[in-house]
């Protein structure tokens, strides 16, 4: 049975607000757009230009496309990455989580190589030499064979259609699910989401998970489960999972496979979509082929534009056959990217290419046939606003090529385990919507079930 959504007016004379994420996301959004258009420029250079041109993406883009002598040049300290051993900084003592110090400074990149440093200073853990060598090589061969079917994602930026600076394909674990994804997860030939998060055109890129990718998913499953439990035990107060994090076992059933062909190919700053994963999602990310830098940085609610990069970035080096686990803190509180590389070491099998698989768990209760629809009658996307520490459903179509957004949004209700009201086993949320009632939302979505 389809759920129905009651819209409740809280006050007749309240004015319809704008979606609250617009302001706080704006610099990230602009940087993501610029990173896609100018993948050869570092984040810091783009930020510098953005400040110099008072936040105008179009002016920055025009300036960066102009011959060198016409560009605005601004003095800034040299930005060099540096390598450290951080073993002395943080350690878990008697189950008390370590105080993670901010080790990076604005404009600096801290390079991390060791698993201990990664787990102590980022919301990730890394396992080197994850698969037996022959399994990793067989998977790499399989995916290099698939890579010719990968596509660049397309999204709308102002009046222009823009392409992502790497190729991707989306896989699901059964034929029926693949068919359903094509039917349900698309909109007019393509569901395209915000560049600040990521954009996916499901009907051109989804397929059934190939044999090796599926086989490896079982190993990833076990390891991610163990790592997730360890993370809670070692890093969460009282060894309790985060609010809204699912207590269920993590079972991957879908994956994005990315191919970066050469050092110029990259992916801009983003958090992964929560729409089908739910709050506090966990992702297993396997790297094969050329070693590249996975950059992470905290999302800092900004007082002014200049603090966008106040804590600098951390670069985690991802060699062939390494598994990175992005834990439950990651998507809501941090952003990640694959930075363009000035130089790469070719891999004996993959040449200049890096293949990355992000294994994900799509939740049945977040299937688009169950989730709220916006005024365009399209399944809304789930977003998180750090400023309000709240989730919301929002119209997605604004970034799709040739479409404009209806601007609709509604606060999203979840129980402590991240289940929405229509999910089986929903425990209720006594605090909702009181924490948001004094805010500007006039519309609350509830379910009949």
Ligand X SMILES: O=C(O)CCC(=O)C(=O)O
Binding site for ligand X (CB under 6 A): 198, 256, 258, 267, 272, 285, 294, 336, 338, 356, 358
- Please say which residue, 231 or 335, places its beta carbon nearer to ligand X: 335
- Please say which residue, 260 or 409, places its beta carbon nearer to ligand X: 260
Q: How many CB atoms lie within 10 A of CB 124?
A: 25
When CB distances are held under 5 to 8 angstroms depending on the partner's kind, the choice from ligand X, Fe ion, none that residue 320 binds is none
Q: Find the shortest distance in angstroms from Cβ 274 to Fe ion.
A: 12
Residue choice 272, 293, 329, 413 for contact with Fe ion (CB under 5 A):
272
Residues 6+ apart with CB under 8 A from 54: none
Asked if 64 and 72 touch (Cβ cutoff 8 Å), the reply is no
Whole-angstrom distance, CA of residue 388 vs CA of residue 382: 15
When CB distances are held under 5 to 8 angstroms depending on the partner's kind, the choice from Fe ion, ligand X, none that residue 256 binds is ligand X
When CB distances are held under 5 to 8 angstroms depending on the partner's kind, the choice from Fe ion, ligand X, none that residue 117 binds is none
153 sits near Fe ion (criterion: CB under 5 A): no
**How many chain residues touch Fe ion (CB under 5 A)?**
1
- Please say which residue, 20 or 340, places its beta carbon nearer to ligand X: 340
CA distances from 369 to 9, 134, 366, 396 (A): 24, 41, 8, 15
Q: Find the shortest distance in angstroms from Cβ 273 to ligand X.
A: 8
- Please say which residue, 273 or 320, places its beta carbon nearer to Fe ion: 273
Structure-block tokens of residue 234? 């070692």
Whole-angstrom distance, CA of residue 122 vs CA of residue 326: 9
Residues 6+ apart with CB under 8 A from 140: 288, 289, 320, 349, 350, 355
Whole-angstrom distance, CA of residue 232 vs CA of residue 95: 10
Q: Find the shortest distance in angstroms from Cβ 355 to ligand X.
A: 9
Q: Find the shortest distance in angstroms from Cβ 412 to ligand X.
A: 21
- Please say which residue, 293 or 415, places its beta carbon nearer to ligand X: 293
CA distances from 386 to 133, 195, 309, 333, 399 (A): 41, 18, 16, 7, 22
Beta bridge partners of 361: none
Among the listed ranges 115-123, 175-183, 264-272, 317-325, the one in contact with Fe ion (CB under 5 A) is 264-272
Q: Find the shortest distance in angstroms from Cβ 392 to ligand X.
A: 21
Q: Which of 16, 309, 30, 316 is nearest to 157 (CA)?
A: 30
Structure-block tokens of residue 29? 């959004």
* ∠ Cα 86 88 94 (to 5°): 120
Q: DSSP string of 145-195? A: HHGGG-EEEEEEETTEEEEEEEEEEEEESSHHHHHHHHHHS-STT-----T
Q: Find the shortest distance in angstroms from Cβ 165 to ligand X.
A: 12
Structure-block tokens of residue 96? 């008390």
When CB distances are held under 5 to 8 angstroms depending on the partner's kind, the choice from Fe ion, ligand X, none that residue 411 binds is none
- Please say which residue, 381 or 445, places its beta carbon nearer to ligand X: 381
Structure-block tokens of residue 119? 């787990």
Q: Find the shortest distance in angstroms from Cβ 279 to ligand X.
A: 17
Asked if 31 and 47 touch (Cβ cutoff 8 Å), the reply is yes
- Please say which residue, 171 or 294, places its beta carbon nearer to ligand X: 294
- Please say which residue, 142 or 415, places its beta carbon nearer to ligand X: 142
Structure-block tokens of residue 426? 């929903």
- Please say which residue, 258 or 405, places its beta carbon nearer to ligand X: 258
Among the listed ranges 80-88, 90-98, 107-115, 266-274, the one in contact with Fe ion (CB under 5 A) is 266-274
When CB distances are held under 5 to 8 angstroms depending on the partner's kind, the choice from Fe ion, ligand X, none that residue 356 binds is ligand X
Q: Find the shortest distance in angstroms from Cβ 285 to Fe ion.
A: 8
When CB distances are held under 5 to 8 angstroms depending on the partner's kind, the choice from Fe ion, ligand X, none that residue 269 binds is none
Q: Find the shortest distance in angstroms from Cβ 291 to Fe ion.
A: 18
Whole-angstrom distance, CA of residue 154 vs CA of residue 151: 9
When CB distances are held under 5 to 8 angstroms depending on the partner's kind, the choice from Fe ion, ligand X, none that residue 294 binds is ligand X
Q: Find the shortest distance in angstroms from Cβ 171 to ligand X.
A: 12
The residue at minimum Cβ distance from Fe ion is 272
Among the listed ranges 82-90, 220-228, 231-239, 270-278, the one in contact with Fe ion (CB under 5 A) is 270-278
- Please say which residue, 61 or 322, places its beta carbon nearer to ligand X: 322
Please state whether beta strands 109-112 and 267-270 pair in parallel, antiparallel, or not at all (unpaired): unpaired
Contact residues for Fe ion, defined by CB under 5 A? 272
């Amino acid at each position: 049975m389809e759920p129905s959504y009651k819209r409740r007016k809280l006050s007749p004379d309240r004015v319809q607000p704008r979606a609250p994420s617009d302001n706080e996301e704006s610099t990230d959004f602009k940087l993501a757009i610029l990173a896609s258009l100018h993948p050869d420029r570092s984040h810091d250079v783009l930020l510098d230009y953005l400040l110099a041109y008072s936040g105008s993406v179009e002016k920055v883009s025009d300036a960066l496309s102009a011959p060198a002598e016409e560009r605005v040049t601004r003095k800034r300290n040299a930005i060099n990455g540096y390598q450290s051993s951080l073993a002395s900084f943080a350690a878990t003592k008697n189950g008390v989580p370590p105080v993670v110090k901010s080790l990076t400074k604005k404009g600096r990149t801290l390079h991390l190589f060791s698993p201990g440093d990664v787990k102590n200073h980022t919301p990730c853990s890394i396992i080197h030499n994850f698969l037996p060598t022959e399994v990793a090589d067989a998977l790499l061969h399989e995916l290099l064979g698939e890579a010719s079917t990968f596509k660049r994602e397309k999204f709308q930026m102002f009046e222009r259609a823009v392409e992502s600076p790497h190729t991707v394909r989306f896989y699901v674990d059964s034929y029926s699910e693949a068919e359903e994804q094509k039917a349900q997860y698309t909109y007019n030939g393509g569901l395209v989401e915000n560049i600040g998060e990521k954009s996916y055109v499901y009907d051109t890129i989804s397929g059934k998970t190939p044999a090796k990718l599926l086989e490896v998913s079982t190993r990833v499953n076990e390891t991610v489960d163990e790592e997730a439990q360890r993370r809670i035990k070692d890093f969460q107060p009282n060894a309790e999972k985060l609010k809204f994090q699912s207590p269920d076992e993590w079972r991957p059933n879908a994956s994005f496979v990315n191919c970066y062909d050469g050092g110029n190919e990259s992916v801009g700053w983003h958090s992964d979509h929560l729409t089908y994963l739910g709050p506090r999602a966990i992702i297993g990310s396997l790297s094969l082929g050329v070693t590249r830098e996975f950059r992470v940085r905290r999302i800092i609610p900004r007082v002014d534009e200049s603090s966008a990069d106040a804590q600098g970035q951390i670069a985690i080096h991802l060699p062939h056959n390494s598994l990175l686990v992005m834990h439950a803190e990651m998507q809501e509180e941090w952003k990640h990217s694959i930075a363009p590389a000035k130089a790469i070491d070719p891999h004996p099998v993959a040449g200049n290419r890096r293949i990355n698989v992000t294994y994900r768990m799509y939740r049945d209760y977040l299937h688009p046939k169950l989730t709220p629809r916006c005024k365009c009658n399209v399944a809304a996307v789930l977003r998180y606003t750090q400023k309000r520490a709240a989730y919301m459903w929002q119209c997605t179509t604004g970034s799709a090529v040739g479409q404009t957004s209806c601007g609709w949004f509604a606060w999203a209700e979840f129980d402590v385990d991240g289940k929405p009201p229509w999910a089986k086993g929903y425990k209720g949320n006594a605090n909702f919507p009181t924490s948001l009632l004094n805010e500007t939302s006039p519309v609350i979505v509830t379910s009949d079930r």
